[in-house]
Structure 1
């Protein structure tokens, strides 16, 4: 996958660049490994302002410890409706089960709140 640019319909100022992560990614909470993947993607989104880059990991590479939050969804005009996951009762991650047209690369991927986990890019230059 090369870098892909997706623009929100009717809003040229809201867009994202999506590209593969060139390293292996590990997500930890304390000593617990919640996800590890060599197939993650990085999303760099700009709306009213640039957002911090987010890494999305294939759901198949995420621990089964996460529980789905029943009923909570939010909407992004660029990506679609997000649903959420908890760990030990705390909301920790989200996914786009049915992303909007153009954002299909996010389907079956999970992003974690960076302030609630440790995200390591294994093999990245330091």
Structure 2
């Protein structure tokens, strides 16, 4: 059975824009990601999510997880664990066309990391 595939629209908008500021992600006082190239994904009424380029994340802290989830608007998500936080990072390796900008980017659960957007 195929998975439902939905397209963003007025009833469920999704926008992706460059954050335009440096985003730093820290765990236990250690910076694990630092980038000026983050994207802000705003989906419907959910809080905005920062997606950072996977290449700007310290690969030594990421362990691939077996967890996978599905979003009918974005596609299949893969997960990574951090040393003290299982499945704390996710990304869409092959996102649907409507959100293709997030390919190669990952997001972090905000309760598992400290995410700072430089407001300067």
Question: Structure 1 CA distance, aligned partners of 2:87 and 2:73?
Answer: 22
- Give the TM-score of the pair, scaled to structure 1: 0.83
Where in structure 1 do 4 or more consecutive aligned residues deviate above 2 Å? 8-12
Question: Structure 2 CA distance, aligned partners of 1:41 and 1:67?
Answer: 23
1:73-84 mapped onto 2 (5 Å cutoff): 73-84=68-79
The gaps in structure 1 that reach 5 residues or longer are 1-7
How many pairs were matched up?
113
Structure with higher helix content: 2
- 1:15 paired residue number: 13
Query: Structure 1 residue 109: deviation in Å?
Result: 0.1
Cα RMSD (Å): 1.5
Structure with higher strand content: 1
Query: Does the 8 A contact of 2:8 with 2:98 survive in 1?
Result: no
Query: Structure 1 residue 9: deviation in Å?
Result: 2.5
2:117 aligned with 1:121, yes or no? yes
Query: Structure 1 residue 12: deviation in Å?
Result: 4.3
- 1:62 paired residue number: 57
